[in-house]
Structure 1
Amino acid sequence: MCRDAFSTRRPATRMGRTTNRGTGRMMSSIEKRCLEKGMKMTEQRRVIARVLSEAVDHPDVEEVYRRATEIDPRISIATVYRTVRLFEEAGILERHDFRDGRARYEEVSDEHHDHLIDINSSAVIEFHSDEIERIQREIARRLGYRLIGHRLELYGVPLDDQA
């Protein structure tokens, strides 16, 4: 995956979009996953799915609402909350609590990654480290376990921050 054992990833878009053969319009990756799971996709759900698929950050519900209403002003905050919860329960979205008091979301990815959170700006940097992965498996093994998953969140400030 990476040349070295440590890499960061800040994709321009999350999972991308595909074309719906029936309508010829672009379909977000979340919309595609919803359809594969047999979910009914209203136009408002499609907008919310698009906003989440295109997010390069980890937005909270209020931010998803703000972005969605730029596309369709008729969408209510309640609709966004219900839709995000539905997507999360379906295993399409992953919920994070980065200790800023807000639940934040990202599309579930096939590629494992961890997070570094800048506590000054609340920026979330996704990264992968083969070394960290190896150490975690080794710790689990030493304790008599086979590691089946983990979530790692690091919190820090930039090195050039004098505070």
Structure 2
Amino acid sequence: MTQKEAMTRQDDRTRRLTEALRDAGVRVTRQRAALLSVLARADDHPEAVELHRRAESELPGISLSTVYRTLSALESQGVIHRHQFEGAPARFEHAESAHHDHMIDVDSGEVIEFASERIEKLQAEIARELGYDIVHHRLELYVRRKGTGSDG
């Protein structure tokens, strides 16, 4: 992706996030605008505290409670997803991305996104065999790199 394409994507994300806040009846203050800018640039799965740290470096004085309230409003508008991975604070990501699943490295906390057509087909097949259609699903694999820690 070129730098120009990345900037355009960030601008589009910022616009969507801003519109979602306004649609939720939330005023877009300078603090919230700084947070939206940080969130638009995030291509990882940051926790609220990490988003606060990033926004604070752009606009000192932003409160953590503003971050939490803003994230809650954005989540209710469906423009971000909250992930509550086992044993860790909630993490957030853009809702615009195509469906994917997550692997969470239990040693480092790193979140790795992946997509597998084989897994998707198998899940649909199992649901169908049991008389169901999948409405929504989320797959989280907790992993450890081979050769580190206890391998089982």
TM-score under structure 1 length normalisation:
0.78
- Residue deviations 1:63-90, cap 9 Å, x none? 1111110000021111111111111111
Distance 2:43 2:147 in 1: 24
After TM superposition, the structure 1 = structure 2 runs for residues 1-150 of structure 1, keeping only pairs within 5 Å, are 16-18=9-11, 27=14, 29-31=16-18, 33-34=20-21, 40-150=27-137
- Unaligned runs of at least 5 residues, structure 2: 1-5
Contact 1:28 1:50 (C-alpha < 8 Å) held by counterparts? no
- Residue deviations 1:19-48, cap 9 Å, x none? 7xxxxxx94553355457775422221211
Contact 1:97 1:103 (C-alpha < 8 Å) held by counterparts? yes
Q: How far off is 1:115 after superposition?
A: 0.1
Contact 2:74 2:80 (C-alpha < 8 Å) held by counterparts? yes
Residue identity over aligned pairs, in percent, reads 40
Q: How far off is 1:109 after superposition?
A: 2.5
Contact 2:47 2:92 (C-alpha < 8 Å) held by counterparts? yes
Q: Match for residue 3 of structure 2?
A: none
Q: Match for residue 145 of structure 2?
A: 158
- Unaligned runs of at least 5 residues, structure 1: 1-12, 20-25
The RMSD of aligned alpha carbons is 2.4
**1:102 maps to amino acid:** P
- Would you tell me which structure has more helix in proportion to its own residues? 2
Distance 2:110 2:140 in 1: 12
SS at match of 1:18: helix
Q: Match for residue 7 of structure 1?
A: none
Greater length-normalized contact order (CA 8 Å, ≥ 6 residues apart): 1
Q: Match for residue 5 of structure 1?
A: none
SS at match of 2:35: helix
SS at match of 1:83: helix
